[in-house]
Amino acid sequence: MSIDYLGEIYNAKLSDEEFRKLSEFIYNNFGIKMPEIKRVMLQSRLQKRLRELKLKNFKDYVDFVFSAEGQDNEVIHMIDVVSTNKTDFFREPIHFDFLTNEIVPQFMDESPNETFKIWSAGCSSGEEPYTITIVMSELQEKFPGLNYSIYATDISTKILSHAIDAIYKEDRIEGIPFDLKKKYFLKSKDRIKPTVRVIAPLRNKVTFTRLNFMDNSFHTPEIFDQIFCRNVLIYFDRKTQENVINKLCDRLKPNGFLFLGHSESITGMKLPLEQIKPTIFKKVI
């Protein structure tokens, strides 16, 4: 491949029509809004796909995406680079405090012999479900009979692979108390690029799989006691948000809890939920 060819790919621009086709496809199939303000972002992120596919321009790329081969293979790669994945360990700690102090103690009073089932919907690179495993593992010391399972989903296959590996830069866990870091993370021997890995017993508690919020229904293996869906809905329009939350509620037990992100609101939506605290909702029977 010549330098000129690389330069041509690097400078490829999305035309109005190409952007319209891609943005409409992404919205209709994955619910992710792609307004004009995101054109440069979309163009920049997809240029890597052009290089890997050895395509000279976005016209060829759009044609490929809408071909039979592209629908089978490229669409997943496109969504991997388009979807935004930002998360942290113990993000929005009020939720974990409520889980620790309210939800699990009540569950153990009412259903001590059952498994507490949790879904991390939009789990990104795994920080959220692994935080949940840490919290639940700590609670097992207070409630020795507590059994739990965690189901974690995301639309991006690339980010799910990262989550399954459970390897993070060491500075990602700086905010976690030292005793929890020592207990639940293994340090790499590489001090130039130090990393940590979640210990195997916690990794084994989480089942990861791909899920698209635009699916007609969510065929999860369980009905859940609690669902985390935080800072995901902000990428959808209001109608799509309401539709997604209703489908989440279909997989939530009566009196089960849904946690949303701090910037997300369900005001005015028709949902089987009552607000318990800001961003914490209970499914009404």
Domain boundaries, the chain: 3-82, 93-283
Q: Catalytic: which of 49, 154, 203, 230?
A: 154
| Tens of pLDDT, residue by residue, the chain (285 residues) | 333 444 444 568 888 899 998 988 888 877 777 888 888 888 888 888 888 888 888 889 989 888 888 787 788 788 877 776 667 898 889 999 999 999 999 999 999 999 999 999 989 899 999 999 999 999 999 999 999 999 999 988 888 999 999 999 998 898 899 999 999 999 998 888 899 999 999 999 999 999 989 888 898 989 999 999 998 887 788 899 999 999 999 999 999 999 998 878 888 899 999 999 989 999 997
* Catalytic residue list contains 154: yes
CATH architecture of the domain with range 3-82: Orthogonal Bundle (1.10)
* Catalytic residue list contains 230: no
Query: Global pTM?
Result: 0.79
Q: Catalytic: which of 20, 45, 91, 172?
A: 45
Q: What is the 3-state secondary structure (H, E, C) of the chain?
A: CCHHHHHHHHCCCCCHHHHHHHHHHHHHHHCCCCCHHHHHHHHHHHHHHHHHHCCCCHHHHHHHHCCHHHHHHHHHHHHHHHCCCCCCCCCCHHHHHHHHHHHHHHHHHHCCCCEEEEEEECCCCCHHHHHHHHHHHHHHHHCCCCEEEEEEEECCHHHHHHHHHCEEEHHHHCCCCHHHHHHHEEECCCCCCCEEEECHHHHCCEEEEECCCCCCCCCCCCCEEEEEECCCHHHCCHHHHHHHHHHHHHCEEEEEEEEECCCCCCCCCCCCEEEEECCEEEECC
Fold of 93-283: Rossmann fold (3.40.50)
